Copies of this chain bind each other. A is one copy, B any other.
Amino acid sequence: MKLWGGRFSGKQDEFMRKFNDSFSFDQRLYAVDIQGSIAYANALSNAGLLGKDELANIIKGLLCIKKEFDQGVFEPGFEDEDIHTAIERRLTELIGEAAGKLHTGRSRNDQVALDLRLYAIIVIEQVHDALTALQTAIIKKAEVNLEIIMPGYTHLQPAQPILFSHWLMSYFWMFDRDRDRLTDCKRRTAVSPLGAGALAGNPFLIDRAQLAEELGMPSVTLNSMDAVSDRDFVAELLFTIALISIHISRLAEDVIIYSNPSFGYLSIDEMYTTGSSLMPQKRNPDSLELARGKTGRAISSLVNLLVILKGLPSTYNKDLQEDKEPLFDSADTILLTLPVITGVVDTMQPHPDLMAANLDETMLATDMADYLVEQGLPFRQAHQIVGQVVRLAEERQVGFSTLPLPDLQRISAYFGPDVKEIFDFQRSVSKRSGIGGTAPETVVQQIAVAKQKINDLPK
- A274-B436 contact, Cβ under 8 Å, with A109-B154, A292-B319: no
Q: Which of A154, A243, A272, A297 has the most CB of B within 10 A?
A: A154
A97 to B339, CA, bound (A): 38
A15 proximity list for chain B (CB < 8 A): 336, 339-340, 343
Contact B225 A235 (CB under 8 A): no
Q: Which of A172, A257, A260, A429 has the most CB of B within 10 A?
A: A260
Contact B314 A311 (CB under 8 A): no
A5 to B202, CA, bound (A): 49
Contact B281 A363 (CB under 8 A): yes
Contact A317 B154 (CB under 8 A): yes
Tell me, yes or no, whether A71 is within 8 Å of chain B by CB: no
Question: How many chain copies does the complex carry?
Answer: 4
Contact A16 B343 (CB under 8 A): yes
Which residue in chain B gives the minimum CB-CB distance to A291? Answer: B19
Which residue in chain B gives the minimum CB-CB distance to A172? Answer: B223
- A279-B366 contact, Cβ under 8 Å, with A15-B336, A307-B300: yes
A365 proximity list for chain B (CB < 8 A): 279-282
Tell me, yes or no, whether A36 is within 8 Å of chain B by CB: no
Contact B311 A432 (CB under 8 A): no
- A296-B307 contact, Cβ under 8 Å, with A11-B271, A225-B170: yes
Contact A199 B103 (CB under 8 A): no
Contact A313 B6 (CB under 8 A): no
Tell me, yes or no, whether A426 is within 8 Å of chain B by CB: no
Partner of A311, one of B166, B226, B311: B311
Q: Say how far A270's CB is from chain B's closest CB, in angstroms.
A: 6
In chain A between 288 and 313, which residues have their CB closer than 8 angstroms to a CB of chain B? Answer: 289-290, 292-297, 299-313
Contact B276 A4 (CB under 8 A): yes
Tell me, yes or no, whether A385 is within 8 Å of chain B by CB: yes
Q: Mark A234-277, 1 if CB is under 8 A from B, else 0.
A: 01100100110010011011101100111100000011101111
Contact A203 B304 (CB under 8 A): no
Q: Say how far A167's CB is from chain B's closest CB, in angstroms.
A: 6
A177 proximity list for chain B (CB < 8 A): 188, 230, 232
Tell me, yes or no, whether A403 is within 8 Å of chain B by CB: no
Q: Which of A3, A263, A308, A390 has the most CB of B within 10 A?
A: A308
Contact A297 B306 (CB under 8 A): no
Q: Say how far A380's CB is from chain B's closest CB, in angstroms.
A: 3
A88 to B228, CA, bound (A): 49
Q: Mark A104-142, 1 if CB is under 8 A from B, else 0.
A: 111111010000000000000000000000000000000
In chain A between 134 and 192, which residues have their CB closer than 8 angstroms to a CB of chain B? Answer: 152-162, 166-167, 169-174, 177, 180-181, 184, 188
Tell me, yes or no, whether A221 is within 8 Å of chain B by CB: yes
Please list the 8 inter-chain residue pairs (A to B) with the smallest Cβ-Cβ separation, ordered nearest first.
Answer: A6-B387, A201-B437, A4-B275, A100-B380, A293-B319, A100-B378, A201-B432, A289-B318
8 A-B pairs besides A11-B270, A20-B274, A293-B319 with CB distance below 8 A are A7-B391, A99-B380, A108-B276, A155-B317, A167-B314, A177-B232, A224-B437, A262-B358
